[in-house]
Chains A and B, each alone.
Chain A
Amino acid sequence: MLKDKYADRIEKIFAKYADKRSAVMSLLYLAQEEYGYVTEDACAEIAALIGTDPTQVRSIAGFYTMFREEPKGRYWLQVCTDLPCALRGADKFYEELLQELGIEDGGTTPDGMFTVEHVMCLAACDRAPMLQCNFHYHEHLDMDTMRALIAQWRAEAGVLAEAAAVGDAPAE
């Protein structure tokens, strides 16, 4: 339960606002961090915490693009293909990235490593092509730097998987 595991963080979030409802987005981020995506149970938990009903929480989650309502790849790549980036080659970059990973627009690699989506302007238009990976920006990309990043992420995930196999990963 978020309530027990993150009691301190939740208290801090509530302290910011005159109304507990304002905490809904922060709590959705927290749930996403914990469960990987916004689960039905998480919506019920959050609703209980802020004193509303789960449907309301679900509708908030659905309204915004940064909340995932289903599981996604370990690395969630959101490539900007909006007009200013597209003028600097973002559409082509996006197609090549999909090809490199062998998936379609919005798809996830079979090993569950990468989900790739295209998104609207991320306020980085002067540094196109660019993408956001798990909420961090990578800018001035080309396919060479992209291949290096993919290799780095695969290696990182490999290390994590090994750690999990010997049992240091948090039990969940």
Chain B
Amino acid sequence: MAEHILLRDLDVPDIKAFDVYVQHGGYEALRKAVGMTPAAVIDVVKASNLRGRGGAGFPTGVKWSFIPQSEPVKYVVVNADESEPGTFKDRQILEGNPHQLIEGAMIAAYAIQATAVYIYLRGEFWDIAANLDACIEDARKEGLIGPDVLGSGWSCEMYTHLGAGAYICGEESALLNSLQGLLGQPRVRPPFPAQKGGGLYYEATVVNNVETLTNVPWIITHGAEEYKKIGTPESPGPKIYCLSGHVAKPGNYELPLGITFRELIFEHAGGIPDGKQLKAILPSGASGPVLPATDAVLDTPLTYEAVAQIGSTLGSASIILMDETVNVAWAASKMMKFFAHESCGKCTPCREGTYWLRRRYEALLDGRAQARDIAILDDVASQMTGVTLCALGEFAVNPVRATIKHFRADYEAWIKQEAAEDKKAAKPAPAREKAAAR
């Protein structure tokens, strides 16, 4: 793509300033939208087949159309919790092109006739929230937010809200609880957020990811047909791919959906550093199954469907790369540590399962595991499948089962190496254990 649609800060460095954004056509899409009927706005977004960029890929226009128009109080909540390991795309939008998110969120709010928009930011985005507040103020002064938006007769406020460090608050129902000042744990569904009883303050609510909404102004301006020329028919549009780990040029890449892993990694991101071989790919952070870096995988297009077909998920396209020096069982232990830390504790299989799995991985890395432990890990993980209240419990199974499936030899290497070698040569015990032993 010659020009960026989302990461426009790469083309126009000062686009974060209100005036510069407006000079480059900013807020024209909102102007256009409020001249249309709300239903017509939803129809355009539906026709574009924009799919949610927060991980699940749910069609955005369809989500908006679930909102019962008869409800007097409705909300839009922007999910800016961005806490999946390897994900840092929403941050670049928030820092570099914040007005486009604000505009997209206002268009969503108009489409469902919302009374207020809340932007829920991960707590660490402290400086970003302060800047966003200033941006909202700039837009409010111009009549783009607040009472009688652009003389349309529709009024809508916008506020930021800071989280405080909890991955689970990215899960939409936990996010809503957190925003209500309750414990940030998922809700039992139905009712879903779009339904009365399921959303913010139990009112009908649309929850969308930052990147999703940042697509919306372009779609309104250029139309669904133009949008569908980017990407593939099932997965249209541009996508921000976050590349991290063993890659020459880590960072965000805005490219169409449907390019291959190979193009992304080797043509755009400079390949693998130090002449090393690529060994494993995590396409969706810690949450999706790992893939071995075979030719078949590398030639797979990055779409929701194609990545699912080869046994993983595109998720939010936070792609973590590991070269030949990495023992993937070690990587699995890191991911399990993450999930054990982030399990909210509400349901037993996830709370106990992640705790127990983390302990088994510590044993593996300390050289206390035996060959049969591999089967035990796999078995415990499989018992968590399908019985947890939210998807975190499902995500936590992936680091175990997928790494064992594709990289069993790495587990065996830990077991053998530790058994054969002097314990002193092994990795030093984690500091926390040292502290406990005192």
Binding site for B on A (CB under 8 A): 16-26, 28-29, 50, 59-60, 63-67, 82-84, 86-88, 98, 104-106, 119-128, 132, 135-137
Q: Contact at B164–A67, with CB atoms within 8 Å?
A: yes
Residues of B within 8 A of A26 (CB): 161-162
Closest 10 CB pairs of A and B: A21-B181, A105-B431, A64-B164, A65-B165, A126-B250, A84-B244, A125-B244, A121-B85, A66-B165, A24-B181
Known: A66-B124, A83-B320, A87-B246. A59 touches B334 (CB 8 A): no
Nearest CB of chain A from residue B315's CB, rounded to whole Å? 14
Residues of B within 8 A of A25 (CB): 123, 161-164, 178, 181
Q: Is the CB of B242 closer than 8 A to any CB of chain A?
A: yes
Pairs across A and B, CB under 8 Å, 21 listed: A19-B180, A63-B184, A64-B165, A64-B166, A66-B124, A83-B320, A83-B334, A86-B334, A87-B246, A87-B321, A88-B250, A105-B432, A106-B431, A106-B435, A120-B341, A120-B342, A123-B90, A124-B91, A125-B244, A126-B244, A135-B127
Task: Please encode chain B, from 304 to 336, with 1 for each CB lying within 8 Å of some chain A CB and 0 for all others.
Answer: 000000000000000011100010000100110
Pick the contact of B245 from A59, A87, A123 — CB < 8 Å?
A87
Q: Which of B283-322 contact A (CB under 8 A)?
A: 286, 320-322
Residues of B within 8 A of A128 (CB): 244
Residues of A within 8 A of B167 (CB): 120
Of chain A, the residue at the smallest CB distance from B250 is A126
Q: Is the CB of B434 closer than 8 A to any CB of chain A?
A: yes
A17 and B203 alpha carbons, distance in the complex (Å) = 14
Q: Is the CB of B430 closer than 8 A to any CB of chain A?
A: yes
Q: Contact at A84–B85, with CB atoms within 8 Å?
A: yes
Task: Please encode chain B, from 174 to 195, with 1 for each CB lying within 8 Å of some chain A CB and 0 for all others.
Answer: 0000111111100000000000
A65 and B83 alpha carbons, distance in the complex (Å) = 13
Q: Contact at B243–A126, with CB atoms within 8 Å?
A: yes
Pick the contact of B182 from A18, A21, A120 — CB < 8 Å?
A21
Pick the contact of A64 from B86, B123, B286 — CB < 8 Å?
B123
Beyond A16-B161, A123-B83, 12 additional pairs, beta carbon < 8 A: A21-B180, A25-B178, A26-B162, A63-B183, A65-B165, A82-B85, A87-B320, A87-B322, A119-B165, A121-B85, A125-B245, A126-B252
Of chain B, the residue at the smallest CB distance from A81 is B334
A4 and B67 alpha carbons, distance in the complex (Å) = 42
Pick the contact of A22 from B83, B91, B181 — CB < 8 Å?
B181
A100 and B166 alpha carbons, distance in the complex (Å) = 29
Residues of B within 8 A of A119 (CB): 165
Q: Contact at A120–B244, with CB atoms within 8 Å?
A: no
A67 and B178 alpha carbons, distance in the complex (Å) = 14
Most buried by B among A24, A59, A84: A84
Pick the contact of B82 from A64, A87, A123 — CB < 8 Å?
A123
Of chain A, the residue at the smallest CB distance from B88 is A123
A127 and B326 alpha carbons, distance in the complex (Å) = 20
Nearest CB of chain A from residue B351's CB, rounded to whole Å? 14
A119 and B251 alpha carbons, distance in the complex (Å) = 21
A104 and B434 alpha carbons, distance in the complex (Å) = 9
Known: A18-B201, A22-B161. A66 touches B182 (CB 8 A): no
Residues of A within 8 A of B183 (CB): 59-60, 63
Residues of A within 8 A of B244 (CB): 84, 87-88, 125-126, 128
A65 and B321 alpha carbons, distance in the complex (Å) = 28
A66 and B286 alpha carbons, distance in the complex (Å) = 22
Q: Which of B391-438 contact A (CB under 8 A)?
A: 430-432, 434-435
Pick the contact of A83 from B91, B127, B180, B286 — CB < 8 Å?
B286
Of chain A, the residue at the smallest CB distance from B91 is A123
Q: Is the CB of B126 closer than 8 A to any CB of chain A?
A: yes
Known: A21-B180, A65-B164. A121 touches B123 (CB 8 A): no
